[in-house]
Amino acid sequence: MVVHKGRKASVKEAVKNDVVEDLDVEVSDQDEESEDDVEVSDQDEESEDDAEESGEDDGDVKLSVPQEKAVYDRAGLLDKLGNVSWPENVDWIHKLTLDYSQEKEVDVNDDLNRELSFYTQALDSTREAFMKLESMNIPFLRPTDYYAEMVKSDHHMEKVRGRLLAEKRRIEEAEERRKARENKKMSKAVQAQKQKERAKEKKNEIESVKKWRKQRQQSGFPGNGKAFDIGLSFEDGNTFERSNKKRPGVHPGDRSGGKARQGAGRGKPGADKKRKGREFKESKYGFGGRKGMKKQNTAETTNDMRDFSKGFSKNKKKKT
Amino acid sequence: MGKKRKHVETVTEIPKQEDKEVVVEEEAKHNNETHSGPIFRNKEKVLVTCSRRINFRYRHLMLNLVSLLPHCKKENKVESKAALNELVELRSCSSCLFFESRKETDLYLWMAKCPTGPSVKFIVNAVHTMEELKLTGNHLTNSRPLLTFSTSFGKDAHWRLLKEMITQIFGTPKDYRRTKPYYDHVFAFSIVDDHIWFRNYQISCSHTEADKIDREGLDKMTLVEVGPRFCLNPIKVFGGSFGGQTLYENPFYVSPNQVRIRSLDKKKKAGKYAKKVKAKIRRKMQELSKPMEEDEFADTWQDQ
């Protein structure tokens, strides 16, 4: 490995002789100095890092005009290539190289397209390679039960997985929030609509009662109860039927809307029976008292043991 | 029916004969790398080292490469490049990847074929290591990679030489004792803007058997990036190992030092004189518009 000092020395002398501050020549000079293991002494003491210089994808500056002195020894290169390369008829399986022709030029600064072009290059070449490997009848795909050491540790892959999951969750949450907001808006609109309709119905009903009264007045009050079905058109004709909504735990005659019992069930059993307050008396006897229908259990409510305490039984035998 | 069978038999005989001929030819060939026997054996070994005072990011890049190349040997930090050739010979390696870092920010990569061969000096940009969480792929350690090159590597002499060197250094030998049998990752080298871009992808495709893949599986195959990522800018190609006659110089290369110096100088010198003149004028205007009051104590010490 004889370093050809002679040639380099001549170039250096030529540079010194010229004393031309040609930037291009300086470049080659710097590089040659660095080859000789001389610490490249900065001409400037303050060497701050420019963000542009060490930035993404080759931030360093490129000369717009190529240097004329740049060496290109084509014959030498091909000679060395011949020396170094493997013989021609080596099996593909040793080299495993694939060539891919890239049709269109990719702009370096366009990250997405650049990565996409690398990806398509790799993908198409892999497909070709797999076809070749398949034709050679050698196993090339990893079986699912083949466990071996991987290039990245399990711990690291856990971190990766965690990050991916967190991202997915964040996206989902944002989606849900958006949907909830929209639903709320919609439900508000629907509710407003319903209220309007109810108000309208109420008005209609009152109107129809008034009309009926007028009719009766006009036709002079015919009888008491005989002509009673006068075309009062209520909604579905089920006026005097109670609604099917049976609320377990609430007396049918309950005038408090079932709210009185909610807190009371948490106390002792039978505590609400013993209540003596004014409100309680009112709920029992006020405004005509409780209407009939003392028996109102459904299949579900018969077995509903919510209001009974667990330990309540007549014959408690304590095991000692 | 009988005729059909005969036809089939004749067809199968011919390829077998051709195979035999190829094997005979290979046996007759002797090349530099055969040590024993006439068959081609890839005995490539790569020595991976770095210089002192290397950055953490570049050190991790080096370690990533060590894990990607099963046929490499990692060596301690070296102080000077001069001893490298001997070191490579000592460790009985045939190539070397030397990471040289300057000023703790620039990384130069030397790729050399050691006893006699050519060597290349690159500057490395855009480094992303395997530890980044955005690179989610994973593959078997020590499995042989598939190598893909874009066809621009065949267009010029220096690219062809680089392609050959990369194939030999990054391609794992077939029967190396540490290699794992399956092929599940691919290295992609492409030339964009006269730089070599390196990407490493894991191949993920659904399959049932180890040696057959159906059409559907091939179509649905996806690649996940494993990393690391880097971009190489060739600076010079030398005829010898770590030195020698310059065979190729990159005409567009500007060393990062030059970039720094040039930009600093420009900043310093840019408009320095103009600024000075402007400042003078401004001061004069200021003084004229707001004249200073007379100092009543100005002449207290005058007579003394």
Contact across the interface for A97 and B130, Cβ inside 8 Å: no
Is the pTM here over 0.90, yes or no?
Answer: no
pLDDT in tens, A22-35: 444 334 444 444 34
Q: Could you count the other beta carbons within 10 Å of the beta carbon of residue A255?
A: 13
The answer, for B253 touching chain A at a CB cutoff of 8 Å, is: yes
pLDDT score for A65: 66
pLDDT score for B14: 42
Q: Are A62 and B252 in contact (CB under 8 A)?
A: yes
Confidence of residue B99 (pLDDT cuts 50, 70, 90): very high
The A residues from 61 to 120 touching B (CB cutoff 8 Å) are 61-63, 66-67, 69-74, 76-78, 80-81, 83-87, 89-91, 93-102, 106, 108, 114, 117-119
Work out the end-to-end distance of chain A between its first and last CA atoms, rounded to an integer number of angstroms.
100
Q: Are A94 and B145 in contact (CB under 8 A)?
A: no
CA A221 to CA A228: how far, in whole Å? 11
Average pLDDT over residues B78-97: 90
Which residue in this structure is represented by tokens 């909830």? Answer: A180
Contact across the interface for A53 and B254, Cβ inside 8 Å: no
pLDDT in tens, B147-157: 999 999 988 88
Contact across the interface for A151 and B226, Cβ inside 8 Å: yes
Confidence of residue B175 (pLDDT cuts 50, 70, 90): confident
CA B111 to CA B122: how far, in whole Å? 8
Give the pair of three-digit tokens for residue B153.
């590597």
Q: Give the residue, A283 or A118, on which the prediction is more confident.
A: A118
Looking at the complex, report in whole angstroms how far the Cα of residue B42 sits from the nearest Cα belonging to chain A: 8
Q: Give the residue, A35 or B171, on which the prediction is more confident.
A: B171
Contact across the interface for B133 and A59, Cβ inside 8 Å: no
Confidence of residue B243 (pLDDT cuts 50, 70, 90): confident
Q: Give the residue, A137 or B201, on which the prediction is more confident.
A: B201
Q: Is the alpha carbon torsion for A246, A250, A251, A252 positive or negative?
A: negative
Q: How many residues does chain B have?
A: 304
CA angle A48, A52, A54 (to 5 degrees): 75
The mean of the pLDDT values for chain A is 73
Q: Which residues of A touch B233 (CB under 8 A)?
A: 58, 60
Average pLDDT over residues A176-199: 94
The B residues from 143 to 182 touching A (CB cutoff 8 Å) are 144-154, 157-158, 160-161, 164-165, 167-168, 171, 173-174, 180-182
Does residue A75 register a pLDDT over 60? yes
pLDDT in tens, B44-69: 899 999 999 898 999 999 999 999 99
CA B73 to CA B45: how far, in whole Å? 7
Instruction: Report which of B122, B113, B121 is spatially closest to residue B88, judged by C-alpha positions.
Output: B113
Average pLDDT over residues B74-100: 91
Comparing A185-199, B125-139, B183-197, B204-218, which segment has the lowest mean pLDDT?
A: B204-218
Confidence of residue B22 (pLDDT cuts 50, 70, 90): very low
pLDDT in tens, A232-277: 555 555 556 555 666 666 777 777 766 666 666 565 666 666 778 8
Pairs from B19-26 (Cβ < 8 Å, separation ≥ 24) = B22/A89, B25/A89, B26/A89
Confidence of residue A158 (pLDDT cuts 50, 70, 90): very high
CA B162 to CA B179: how far, in whole Å? 25
pLDDT score for A232: 53
Q: Which residues of A touch B27 (CB under 8 A)?
A: none
Average pLDDT over residues B118-125: 93
pLDDT score for A233: 52
Instruction: Report which of B156, B115, B140 is spatially closest to residue B247, judged by C-alpha positions.
Output: B156
Give the pair of three-digit tokens for residue B46.
């790569």
Looking at the complex, report in whole angstroms how far the Cα of residue B287 sits from the nearest Cα belonging to chain A: 37
Looking at the complex, report in whole angstroms how far the Cα of residue A304 sits from the nearest Cα belonging to chain B: 55
Q: Give the residue, A31 or B128, on which the prediction is more confident.
A: B128
Confidence of residue B170 (pLDDT cuts 50, 70, 90): very high
Q: Give the residue, A144 or A84, on which the prediction is more confident.
A: A84
pLDDT score for A317: 58
Helix residue ranges per DSSP H, chain A: 5-18, 23-35, 74-84, 92-95, 111-135, 154-219, 260-264, 278-285, 299-302
Does residue A281 register a pLDDT over 50? yes
Cross-chain CB nearest to A71 (options B142, B168, B246)? B246
Confidence of residue A53 (pLDDT cuts 50, 70, 90): very low
Sequential DSSP letters for A109-161:
T-HHHHHHHHHHHHHHHHHHHHHHHHHTT---S--TT----BSS-HHHHHHHH
Give the pair of three-digit tokens for residue B289.
């518009």
Q: Are B123 and B232 in contact (CB under 8 A)?
A: yes
Q: What is the 3-state secondary structure (H, E, C) of B129-188?
A: CCCCCCCCCCCECCECCEEEEEHHHHCCHHHHHHHHHHHHHHCCCCCCCCCECCCCEEEE
Contact across the interface for A31 and B255, Cβ inside 8 Å: yes
Q: Could you count the other beta carbons within 10 Å of the beta carbon of residue A263?
A: 9
pLDDT score for A320: 53
Give the pair of three-digit tokens for residue A244.
């099917």
CA B178 to CA A74: how far, in whole Å? 38
Q: Give the residue, A95 or A48, on which the prediction is more confident.
A: A95
The answer, for A25 touching chain B at a CB cutoff of 8 Å, is: no
**What is the ipTM score, two decimals?**
0.75
Cross-chain CB nearest to A130 (options B190, B218, B247)? B218
Q: Which residues of B touch A57 (CB under 8 A)?
A: 125-126, 231
CA A243 to CA A239: how far, in whole Å? 10
Identify the bridge partners of residue B113 per DSSP, sorted by sequence position: B95
Give the pair of three-digit tokens for residue A116.
């996409």
Average pLDDT over residues A166-184: 95
Give the pair of three-digit tokens for residue B299.
């002449």
Identify the residue among A1, A38, A112, A156 best suited for mutation to test binding to B, counting B beta carbons within 10 A and taking the highest: A1
CA A87 to CA A92: how far, in whole Å? 12
- Rg value, chain A, Cα: 47
pLDDT score for B92: 92
Residues 6+ apart with CB under 8 A from A127: B218, B221
CA B137 to CA B129: how far, in whole Å? 12
Instruction: Report which of B126, B74, B169 is spatially closest to residue A85, judged by C-alpha positions.
Output: B169
Comparing A140-154, A245-259, A291-305, which segment has the lowest mean pLDDT?
A: A245-259
The answer, for B85 touching chain A at a CB cutoff of 8 Å, is: yes
Check residue A192 and report its DSSP letter. H
pLDDT in tens, B229-241: 999 999 999 998 8
State which amino acid sits at residue B199: R
- Cis amide prior to A66 (ω within 30 degrees): no
CA angle A128, B177, B90 (to 5 degrees): 115
